[in-house]
């Protein structure tokens, strides 16, 4: 069995036939905390196969072409701080993946 801890990781715009951003197989256990998983192309953002598992907390999975909180991770959506919202990167085209800080109750227009 393989174990991994993903803490404050950002996965953006990756491509794969299974799990465009994160894929767990071979009896892997992954704990993911405070991560962003977005913009995956070709499959759902996260794929879990067989006896593998991924436990998410405070993680945002949003905008992946074939789904976000789907399959075996669907039940984790809305629990332990897990969400699905646009992460609002400062300038993703320039590879600036820092987050826009918003102090007002509404977001500015892009």
Query: The whole model's pTM is what?
Result: 0.83
Token pair 């590879």: residue: 95
Average predicted confidence (pLDDT) for the chain: 85
Using the predicted structure, report yes or no on whether residue 106 has a pLDDT greater than 60. no
Tokens found for residue 48: 């879990």
87 contacts 110 by C-beta, under 8 angstroms: no
Distances (CA, A) of 51 to 24, 32, 54, 70: 9, 17, 10, 17
24-79 confidence digits (pLDDT tens): 888 888 899 999 999 889 888 898 888 888 899 999 999 999 889 998 999 999 99
Using the predicted structure, report yes or no on whether residue 102 has a pLDDT greater than 80. no
């Amino acid at each position: 069995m393989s174990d991994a801890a993903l803490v404050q990781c950002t996965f953006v715009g990756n491509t794969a036939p299974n799990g465009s951003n994160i894929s767990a197989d071979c009896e892997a256990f992954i704990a993911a905390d405070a991560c962003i998983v977005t913009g995956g192309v070709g499959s759902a953002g996260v794929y879990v196969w067989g006896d593998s598992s991924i436990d998410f907390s405070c993680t945002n999975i949003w905008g992946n072409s074939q789904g976000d909180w789907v399959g075996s991770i669907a039940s984790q959506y809305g629990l332990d701080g897990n969400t699905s919202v646009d992460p609002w990167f400062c300038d993703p085209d320039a590879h600036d993946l820092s987050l826009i800080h918003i102090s007002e109750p509404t977001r500015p227009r892009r």
